[in-house]
A and B are shown apart, each in its own frame.
Chain A
Amino acid sequence: MDFNPLDPNYLPWLIPVPPLISFALIVLFVGRSKFWSHILALTAVIISWVISWGVYLQVAYGIENFGAAVYGNSIDWLDLGETTFKMGVVVDPLTAIMLFMVPLAILMIFIYSIGYMNAYPEDDAHQKRSARFFAYLSLFAGAMLTLVVADNLLLLFVGWEVMGLCSYLLIGFLIEKKSANQAAVKAFMTTRVADVLMLVGIGYLYAMTGTLNFREIMYVNHGEMLEMLAEADAPLFGMSAAALIGILLVMGTVGKSSQFPLHVWLPDAMEGPTPVSAMIHAAAMVSAGVYMIIRMYPLLSAGGNPHAGDYTEPLMLMGVVGSFTALFAAVLGVGQDDVKRVLAYSTISQLGFMVAALGIGAYVAAAFHLITHAFFKALLFMSSGAVIHAMEHGEHHAHGHDAHGHDDHGHHELPHGAYGQLHAFEGEEIPEWNTTMVPDGIVLDYVADPNNVRYMGGLLNRIPITALAFAAGGLSLAGFPLVTAGFWSKDEILADALLVGLGDGNFYWLHVLVFVSLIIAATFTAFYTGRLWLMTFWGRPRSAAAEHATLMAGGVDDHKLAEVPYYLRWQKVLRDDEYVDDHLKGKSQLQKFFAVYRDSFPMQLPLVILSFFAIFAGFVGIHPDFWFLKIFTGENNYFKNFLAPTIVESIEVPDFSIVPVLFSFAAALGGLTAAWFVYGAQPIKAGQKDPVHNLIGDSAWAALQNRFYLDTLFLRAFYVPFEWFGRVVTYRWIDKETIDELLFMFADGAVWIGEAIKRLNYVVIDGVGDGIPRLIGMFGGWFRNIQSGRVQQYMLFVAAAALMLGTLLVALAL
């Protein structure tokens, strides 16, 4: 085979490689160097990003009939019988879209991470283990990019699982912190439940088709293989093979994309440093789950037609699970006080939107929402990280640099503070985790002070750029009409559900279910987003930390600066010596910039860039008949036209109608307005109860904050009995008390027999054996008596014998 290094077909191989190399280099060579690990990691990601966008531009504008023609390359990977399993990469439209989003988001996260990690005090664990952090992050990025360019399910699964490992390592990044480790184990184990099922699905798919290549299964020969799979009977549950494989694969997504009931790991995953949350919840891991089912959609829908109300089993599963999750998590999002946990529930909810969308066959809408969500959720997480940092700085500032300050906020173990008592419900002991490993929800519901929105308020004036970026992301999440990306993608899902489900006099139950759940969920989403932003940034500060919150690295006269309008501050700092501390007076602007904005610049630059995408990324996917689009671009639905050739089946998008748009308007605006009246018009004061808390009462509020006790239930229903089964049943009862006891019985029996034989020897054989010598001895002893050597005795014997012989002879003769 000719190898032409300039052949663009080889390019996709290169995309995941740089971060993987940087991972290896950091681990092997610069494990202690903060500086070099930053440089290596960032360089690698930039290279990946450049190649990815290069490939994207090339396929988007350089290939005729893209979709039928793709970039791809593969190598022989496993010889199995007479066949060979090939491992390779492919860039088709879906991959291309991911290649646009993923590397960009990852790059932003890397830049942000540099600022984020640096913003910790010098002696903090985050600083000391910075190199390790970037190594993990690089591996994570490499795995995600591998997953994106994979041309088969097995390579996808490799990336999928390596990401699972990375998330385990990153969530448990603060290794001395028990709750972090428990959260890491929980994340790993919960997703593993799903992964082992997915593995069976992959194995079964391979066995049925002899390949795992996406295009061979779903594209070549117009999906001939899909028909075969839809007709073949599966060995279990009377389903078709396609349905069984589909369900097993969807289970993988339920775990990875954190759908009910396997969503429990994700809120706990907030234990990781914030860039990790952005990585897990936006660019990479959870998106991977949805990406996989989008990728496998033709298989999942094989044998059915969701657009005509004919759902296959996997589609039903997705529709029901997705819509329930969307609603369930949106409700929970209302009752959280941890800024990151609200976002975690919003992620679960939004992923539910995507999964539900796929369940009703809204293929394009699901992919579209995946992309826009990645942008605005990465933005939101990174903003929340900035908020938390600002709060930590404020805490420092307020309390000086005492040892008991909050620079190591991660070391709290037990709930404390004004709201701690709410978290453990009545009669509930906070469990001791010395001997067990899966965390209970209750302990983790403790909210660290810097994360707690109840202690925030008024941050708009302290960290304005972050506040605005957060607003951009939040509005997009809430689906603020017309100007945000989230609106367009969400609207497309709702439109599809409503127009197909109830259009033309149809009544398709799944569509209707999805629509009703999602519209309610969307309203809740708008409400909690509004609540979150208003609690954080609006009103007056509710704590000293919030009052002094800042992202600046120091060297600034904070109080004086606070009086300046925020858009003028950076000019004042750089130009006017009276606003900076003594040691900076008279320095050049550049020196001042590095001293003051060392951390906040790399943290806020990505926020600004992502804000752009959170607002404008939606315009590529507007329905062509919608008047709004024509004002801006006058073009067709670019996103749909680009994506559609990924699959053979032609993609139907319902005709435009204003009805679902009005619903979207009502949901978003209704939720936001309600939030404004509850939290904005009269911001809550320090120590005041949450208005929703007042509204629904203590027990319901506690239930909200404790995730409806689901984590506790799982702990008791699965972890405890499983652990007991291992410890008591298999180990003690079976191994020790049955098998080993049986062996001992055999051994004892053998010993007994041996003993018996010994006795037998003693009595019988020894008896005979010893008896003969003894008899001989006795005889000898006796015989010795007659051989005394005394002549008289001999003579006596001889005389006696002669007498006896004589008598005998006489008697015979007679």
Chain B
Amino acid sequence: MLEIGGTEVNLLTILVFLPLIGASIISILPRRSANLARYMALGFSLVVAVMAVVIFIETWNKDLAPGEFAYENQIEWFSLIGSSWHVGVDGISASMILLTALLTPLAVLIAFEHDEHPFAVMALFLFMETGMLGVFAAMDMLVFFLFYELGLVPMYFIIYIWGGENRDYASRKFFIYTMAASLGLLLAIQLIAFVVGDRTGQTLTFDMQTWMDVWPDLSTQSSVLGFSAQTVKWLALLAFAVAFGLKIPIWPFHTWLPDAHTEAPTAGSMLLAGVLLKLGAYGFLRLAIPLFPLEWVQIRTLRILGVEFQAVEVLAAFAMLSIVFGAFTAWAQDDFKRLIAYSSVNHMGFVAMGLAVFAAVYGVQFALSQNQPDLVLDALEHAVKEEDVATYLLPEEIGGRSAESLIETSSTKSVIAYRKLMDIEDGVTVTCGGAEVQASQIITDNVRTCDVSSFPRLEKERHHATVAANGAVLQMFNHGLSAAGMFLLVGALYHKAHTRDLRRFGGLWHLVPVYGAVLVFMSMASLGLPGLNGFVGEYLVVAGSFPVKGFEVYVLISMVGLLITGAYILKGLQKVLHGPVNPEWQHYHEHHHSLEISFRELLAVAPLMILIVITGLYPNWILPVINDSVSAMFAAVIGG
């Protein structure tokens, strides 16, 4: 086997670089036969897909301990600044790698339709695949960031060269917008690398696992570069959240997406919606949440208005707005592709919602494990129900009254109200640990002096959060399938009809029976019809979020979005397939060519349809591996 610097190169590393090798070969091929480039690109991506399946199955079969990764491979690379080529997969990244590797061959198959610069387009798609795979595999932050940015470049060119009429604007907006957000991310990464390196006796370190061990535990009292660690952490979180949120995209950072999607060529849209959006969500789950557990749940006051808020609340509210506004805006579109593009905002909103729930509960769990009373109190404000606060925090009796009865007397049942209540009850003393204690001090004392490890481990909340996070990851996978499928179908029609204007279609089902059936199927998957994949993810997010305190309202309002999802999906179907046949198309096939889906397109959409049905009927083919990784994240906190 190949060795670099004394370390063997493993399958995962090869997987990441194989598309790049393919791209290089294609770009130096003699420009004779376009088909050579096409089939070579297809071949490379298929080999990558097979490797990804192998990696997925192996990860499935491995029982990974918390913090353990499969296919770990560390090769010396940039030791001077504490960075190495370090890759590995857990369940979450394995499923994302699977998604990437499955979608790329299909996108390549669709990209066969480009007769302009066929070599360049094929090379760029493979190049992009390397970028995406590298992000999911990275265990070193510099590698992560490198690949995170690397994916942008081919996408920019794909939109800019093969895109629609307005590609100039769209590609530039896409590139600059995402680059701008990445700047903050880069700064934050360097900062953390410096601080973590400092604490571990190195100049810099970019190793993700070292980060996980050091950075979240970093005391907020300490100072970093002369600033308080709290401020620095908060700013770093902001940088991470904005960069990843923009990628998901969360409302209100979503406006680049409809433009980019609409102008991108079909294959580009497939990968953009199918995989690139997942990078953001993946970044949240892998980095933004575990690196800043406390920052998500700390209560902050907005200087200007004096409003108290928590970061998770903001995330949840934005997720809700993505769901609702995304759906409404999609409904308003008359451009078929734009409609589907906005549907991505709507669907990825559910991912964000699941992540918010996860962040909330993860933060509380972490605060408990940190034995930091104030943090616990802040954190508990979210995610734990009032009636449970008593059991989590209080001795059974206070001043002769049961904790529960005290809480019931409080008009607003929240921890803060409870704290105030205790202040009022000043002077009441209780016996705690054999000594008379002021009741007002009870809560903090209880946290401080009593054994935190005896606290219940938030089992209920943890279960809900696990369900929601499972749902979020599954929704990422499902959206990858159905959004790619929808874009494929829109593109298939556009490629032949040369218009995407819904007002010009109508009654096409007669003319394109097969296309019609596939479109109905894919639309239903996108709509979340039970029995198909989309439903499982959305259900899990709803079931996991609704019972968590503070999220009820968000979920209920999001249901409006789910309702409107039906409206825009049916709008698309109705405008394209139903109604009287638009005379424009009645004899189109006689003068031009048939509008019916071509065999190549059918070949590309069939695997998606099969996976959609399988995932809908038996989601457990993929969920256990996701579930193990999500549970392991909690286990890592509890175990510590």
Question: Once bound together, how far apart are the Cα atoms of A233 and B407, in whole Å?
Answer: 14
Contact A196 B574 (CB under 8 A): no
Residue of B nearest to A746 (CB): B180
> Which B483-538 residues sit within 8 Å CB-CB of chain A?
503, 507, 509-510, 513, 517, 520, 524, 529-531, 535-536
The 0/1 profile, CB within 8 Å of A marked 1, for residues 560-585 of chain B is 00111011001100100111110000
Determine whether B216 belongs to the interface, using a CB cutoff of 8 Å to chain A. Answer: no
A181 to chain B, nearest CB (A): 4
Contact A181 B513 (CB under 8 A): no
Contact B566 A192 (CB under 8 A): yes
A599 to chain B, nearest CB (A): 26
Contact B567 A437 (CB under 8 A): yes
Determine whether B369 belongs to the interface, using a CB cutoff of 8 Å to chain A. Answer: no
Say which residue of A76, A176, A193 sits within 8 Å of B581 (CB atoms): A176
Residues of chain B with a CB closer than 8 A to A740's CB: 255
Contact B529 A203 (CB under 8 A): no
Size class of the A contact interface (CB-based, 8 Å): 35 or more
Question: Once bound together, how far apart are the Cα atoms of A193 and B559, in whole Å?
Answer: 9
B242 to chain A, nearest CB (A): 14
B547 to chain A, nearest CB (A): 4
Determine whether B67 belongs to the interface, using a CB cutoff of 8 Å to chain A. Answer: no
Residues of chain B with a CB closer than 8 A to A188's CB: 566, 570
Contact B546 A207 (CB under 8 A): yes
Say which residue of B330, B513, B547, B631 sits within 8 Å of A204 (CB atoms): B547
> Which A163-203 residues sit within 8 Å CB-CB of chain B?
165, 168-169, 172, 175-176, 178, 181, 185, 188-189, 192-193, 196-197, 199-200, 202-203
Residues of chain A with a CB closer than 8 A to B540's CB: 78, 80
The 0/1 profile, CB within 8 Å of A marked 1, for residues 251-271 of chain B is 010010010000000000000
Question: Once bound together, how far apart are the Cα atoms of A35 and B120, in whole Å?
Answer: 51
Question: Once bound together, how far apart are the Cα atoms of A313 and B416, in whole Å?
Answer: 32
Contact B570 A157 (CB under 8 A): no
Contact B543 A206 (CB under 8 A): yes
With A81-B462, A154-B539 in contact, do A735 and B579 touch (Cβ < 8 Å)?
no
Contact residues of A: prevailing secondary structure: helix
Say which residue of B462, B529, B544 sits within 8 Å of A165 (CB atoms): B529
Question: Once bound together, how far apart are the Cα atoms of A162 and B574, in whole Å?
Answer: 18
The 0/1 profile, CB within 8 Å of B marked 1, for residues 664-680 of chain A is 00000000000000000
Residues of chain B with a CB closer than 8 A to A743's CB: 173, 177, 255
B529 to chain A, nearest CB (A): 6
Residue of B nearest to A24 (CB): B613
The total of chain B residues at the interface (CB under 8 A) is 68
The 0/1 profile, CB within 8 Å of B marked 1, for residues 471-504 of chain A is 0000000000000000000000000000000000
Residues of chain A with a CB closer than 8 A to B517's CB: 27
Question: Once bound together, how far apart are the Cα atoms of A455 and B345, in whole Å?
Answer: 53
A125 to chain B, nearest CB (A): 9
Contact A162 B530 (CB under 8 A): yes
Determine whether B240 belongs to the interface, using a CB cutoff of 8 Å to chain A. Answer: no
Contact A158 B531 (CB under 8 A): yes
Determine whether A83 belongs to the interface, using a CB cutoff of 8 Å to chain B. Answer: yes
Question: Once bound together, how far apart are the Cα atoms of A723 and B567, in whole Å?
Answer: 10
Contact A192 B563 (CB under 8 A): yes
Most chain B beta-carbon contacts within 10 A, residue among A154, A206, A722, A728: A206
Residue of A nearest to B631 (CB): A81
Say which residue of B327, B332, B529, B620 sits within 8 Å of A162 (CB atoms): B529
Residue of A nearest to B550 (CB): A235
Determine whether B314 belongs to the interface, using a CB cutoff of 8 Å to chain A. Answer: no
Contact A203 B620 (CB under 8 A): no
Most chain B beta-carbon contacts within 10 A, residue among A81, A82, A157: A81
Determine whether A79 belongs to the interface, using a CB cutoff of 8 Å to chain B. Answer: yes
Determine whether A208 belongs to the interface, using a CB cutoff of 8 Å to chain B. Answer: yes
Most chain B beta-carbon contacts within 10 A, residue among A80, A176, A210, A233: A80
Contact A203 B507 (CB under 8 A): no
The 0/1 profile, CB within 8 Å of B marked 1, for residues 710-738 of chain A is 00000000000011011111110011000
Determine whether A161 belongs to the interface, using a CB cutoff of 8 Å to chain B. Answer: yes
Say which residue of A83, A203, A435, A747 sits within 8 Å of B539 (CB atoms): A203
Contact B631 A207 (CB under 8 A): no
> Which A271-302 residues sit within 8 Å CB-CB of chain B?
none
A87 to chain B, nearest CB (A): 9
Contact stretch, chosen from B133-141, B419-427, B448-456, B463-471: B463-471
Contact A196 B562 (CB under 8 A): yes
Contact B562 A79 (CB under 8 A): no
- Identify 16 residue pairs between A and B in the complex whose beta-carbon atoms are under 8 Å apart, listed by A's number: A80-B466, A160-B530, A161-B530, A162-B530, A175-B507, A176-B507, A188-B566, A192-B566, A196-B562, A199-B542, A203-B542, A208-B547, A731-B328, A731-B333, A734-B325, A747-B176
Closest 9 pairs (CB-CB, A-B): A203-B543, A207-B547, A726-B328, A727-B332, A158-B530, A81-B466, A726-B332, A181-B578, A731-B332
